[in-house]
Copies of this chain bind each other. A is one copy, B any other.
């Protein structure tokens, strides 16, 4: 029984993994996701809570939604966003915890 050989990463996986980490590599998106980890929020709530421009929040949410990291439900004029990927949000929270306690 030989030692396991090196298995290169296929292109598609490589792209998806890099995209996912890219989503987590921006301070603004981290703050948004960390907030959504705690509770569901409307766009306005996120803007106010994190002191970000509404259009900025909207752009970032589109990015995160495209990667299926967040989802939303509508209530009248208001869209309530929440996280939509348990694995990724846990990776983020683990990293925050790991970084804080070092």
Contact = CB atoms under 8 A, between A and B. Distances in A.
Interface string A1-12: 000101011100
A95 B38 CA distance: 22
A8 B25 contact: no
Copies of this subunit: 2
B27 A95 contact: no
Contacts of A94: 87, 91
28 contacts: A4-B38, A6-B38, A8-B31, A9-B96, A10-B100, A13-B96, A13-B100, A14-B31, A15-B27, A16-B99, A17-B24, A17-B30, A17-B92, A17-B95, A17-B96, A17-B99, A18-B25, A18-B26, A18-B30, A20-B95, A21-B22, A21-B24, A21-B30, A22-B22, A22-B25, A25-B25, A87-B98, A91-B95
